Amino acid sequence: MRIFLDTASIDEIRQAVKLGVISGVTTNPSLVAKEKRADMKAVIQEIASIIDGPISAEVLSLETDALIEEAREVSSWSPNVVVKVPVSVSGLEAISVLSREGIRTNLTLCFSLNQALLGTIAGATYVSPFVGRLDDIGHDGMQLVAEIVELFENYNITTTQVIAASIRHPLHVITAAKVGAHIATIPYNVLTLMIKHPLTDIGISHFAEDWQRIQKS
């Protein structure tokens, strides 16, 4: 399973890239707004200068023609851009047009198996089931990821990859990998939590103490 960073923070992306474990970035309008930046294009192009992998940038138009035009514009910002399109009638229509033009898309705000099925048939490059938001309302978000993976395997679908999104904690990442998600897109704090283990910290200080002791003896 590959790991993308789910953020619009340039600092977080710079830090994470140094680890050599991140192969893409997903953003959304809320994440860009959180960084107090109003120019989506500038943010996406700055991210593209840091990481050489897919960068999801979301469109906001609702009507089909406007959505397609906006998606074409967004995809022109960088060859790395993947256009994030929320599930809707116009969203699916746009994805089918965009995929025929060779523009990569990420079907976002996906909360059901039917939405994922329609997304892959329409030609989405990625589908993003939102695990945490389903968990928040008492559903099993990771079950949806597992079902989408199974459905794609049943029909040997290799043109669409499953991104486990709305990840809230390290256990989500483990489960996403176990059920076969192609990618998990994770917030920076989850990445740092994945690295830490108290026994590692205890082990490092014991090794250092033992080594110091033998040097003084």
2 binds ligand E4P (CB under 6 A): no
Structure tokens at 214: 């033998």
Closest C-alpha to 91, from 112, 63, 114? 63
125 binds ligand E4P (CB under 6 A): no
What whole-number distance in Å separates Cα of residue 46 and Cα of residue 109?
A: 25
Residue 51 Cβ vs ligand E4P, minimum distance, rounded to whole Å: 15
Residue showing tokens 């960068």: 55
Which 8-state DSSP code applies to residue 105? Answer: E
The question of whether 84 is a catalytic residue gets the answer yes
- Cβ-in-10-Å burial (0-12, 13-18, 19+) of 216 comes to exposed
Residue 127 Cβ vs ligand E4P, minimum distance, rounded to whole Å: 11
Residue 207 Cβ vs ligand E4P, minimum distance, rounded to whole Å: 37
Nearer to ligand E4P, 29 or 180 (CB): 29
166 binds ligand E4P (CB under 6 A): yes
Phi, psi of 130 (to 5 degrees): -95, 95
Using CB under 6 A, pick the residue from 9, 28, 120, 160 that binds ligand E4P.
28
Residue positions annotated with a catalytic role: 84
- Interface residues with ligand E4P (CB under 6 A)? 6, 26, 28, 108, 128, 130, 132-133, 165-166, 185
